[in-house]
């Protein structure tokens, strides 16, 4: 371990000291915090964390190592990593290496020994902030001036340069044919679609609606992803071009893009939802579930046109977690559908694939 110092600076002048972790150097991004006890490898490789410095609030990180199976994309997507205590010793039968070696291999700059509880409280009270991690001796006044002069990473097109993904082949003959617009899809979602017997054609985020429809799918999944959905105009154009022509199901960034296409508004949250314990209620059934979420933008519940209804709400802050069109086969959820406790694909994905109105209405 490099004994030299490191520092995290936020645009509002807040300063957090620590030690270098992973690669040394400098890293900038929107400083966001993740509240899950486990899942550090998944968030490091989740495209939803592009443009961010990820703060993990659980105090001891690295104890179960990393492995070749839990990546949500081909490589880490975060701008940098902030933790409290690093466990050099890891123990897990699936582990193939140490977390810090993984960061070094992929040149991810990090900082450890940060008071992440104080940092999370600051971000919760003051809102997410642009930040910079700097290893070693640095001119902090110059770094802060540069940070304040720079635009938010969320103002950039974070879909540009997304790594491509390969579909997961279903066991046996495919029973369904879907297209997926890759807005930062998680590999775990692709695995669930394969488990449901889907042959999936994955198209890049820049694909036009005509190219998606040319694959002749039964339905289209809009899945991702990072940043502000209002920034990449081509993604919104594709969502609008697909409406009414094929059943649509949006996830994460795809949910926000579908909402925009249906005439809703999207706004930045002061503090986003990033964790594995967000309670969500399905309004038609009043059923609740604990969900996985990674986002800093949300659909404005006051902006719903008459032909769009809210299907899911967050029980912590009443924000919109799911919508459906009353007139078109189109629905979406903000959270990331994950397998249930028996290992089966999420019922929303199963309902969409099996054609139950290609919506979340009855699931």
Separation between Cα atoms, residue 88 and residue 73, nearest integer Å: 25
> How would you class 185 by CB atoms within 10 Å of its CB: exposed for 0-12, middle for 13-18, buried for 19 or more?
buried
Q: Which residues contact 36 (CB under 8 A, 6 or more apart)?
A: 43, 56, 58, 275, 276, 277
Query: Percent of the chain at pLDDT above 90?
Result: 94
Model confidence at 235, in pLDDT bands (50, 70, 90)? very high
Give the tens place of pLDDT for each residue, 115-170: 999 999 999 999 999 999 999 998 999 999 999 999 999 999 999 999 899 999 99
Give the tens place of pLDDT for each residue, 165-192: 999 999 999 999 999 999 999 999 999 9
Separation between Cα atoms, residue 189 and residue 42, nearest integer Å: 12
Model confidence at 295, in pLDDT bands (50, 70, 90)? very high
2 and 19 in contact (C-beta within 8 Å)?
yes
Which domains are present in the chain? 6-155 (3.50.30.20), 176-353 (3.40.50.880)
Other beta carbons less than 10 A from residue 302's beta carbon? 9
Other beta carbons less than 10 A from residue 22's beta carbon? 28
Give the tens place of pLDDT for each residue, 41-91: 999 999 999 999 999 999 999 999 999 899 999 999 999 999 999 999 999
Length of the chain as a residue count: 363
Q: Which residue has the higher pLDDT, 363 or 33?
A: 33
Does residue 279 surpass a pLDDT of 60?
yes
């Amino acid at each position: 371990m490099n004994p030299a110092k490191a520092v995290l600076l936020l645009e509002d002048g807040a300063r957090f000291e620590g030690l270098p972790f992973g690669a040394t150097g400098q890293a900038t991004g929107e400083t966001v915090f993740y509240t899950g006890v486990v899942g550090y490898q998944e968030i490091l490789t989740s495209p939803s964390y592009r443009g961010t410095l990820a703060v993990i609030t659980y105090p001891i990180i690295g104890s179960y190592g990393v492995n070749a199976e839990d990546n949500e994309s081909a490589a880490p997507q975060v701008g940098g990593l902030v933790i409290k205590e690093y466990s050099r010793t890891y123990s897990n039968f699936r582990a193939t290496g140490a977390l810090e070696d993984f960061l070094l291999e992929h040149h991810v700059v990090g900082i450890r020994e940060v008071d992440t509880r104080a940092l999370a409280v600051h971000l919760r009270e003051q809102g997410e902030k642009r930040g910079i991690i700097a290893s070693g001796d640095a001119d902090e006044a110059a770094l802060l001036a540069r940070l304040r002069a720079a635009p938010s990473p969320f103002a950039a097109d974070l879909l540009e340069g997304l790594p491509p993904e390969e579909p997961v082949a279903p066991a046996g003959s495919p029973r369904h044919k879907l297209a997926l617009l890759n807005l930062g899809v998680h590999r775990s979602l692709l695995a669930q679609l394969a488990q449901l017997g889907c042959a999936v054609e994955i198209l890049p985020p820049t694909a036009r609606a005509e190219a998606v429809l040319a694959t002749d799918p039964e339905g289209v999944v809009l899945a991702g992803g990072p940043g502000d959905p209002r920034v990449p105009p081509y993604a919104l154009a594709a969502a609008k071009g697909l409406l009414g022509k094929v059943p649509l199901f949006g996830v994460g960034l795809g949910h926000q893009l579908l909402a925009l296409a249906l005439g809703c508004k999207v706004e930045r949250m002061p503090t986003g939802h990033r964790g594995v314990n967000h309670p969500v209620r399905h309004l038609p059934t009043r059923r609740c579930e604990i969900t996985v979420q990674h986002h800093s933008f949300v659909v404005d519940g006051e902006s719903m046109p008459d032909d769009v209804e809210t299907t899911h709400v967050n029980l912590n802050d009443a924000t919109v977690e799911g919508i459906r069109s009353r007139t078109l086969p189109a629905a979406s959820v903000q959270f990331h559908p994950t397998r249930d406790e028996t290992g089966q694909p999420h019922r929303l994905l199963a309902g969409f694939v099996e054609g139950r109105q290609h919506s979340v209405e009855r699931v």
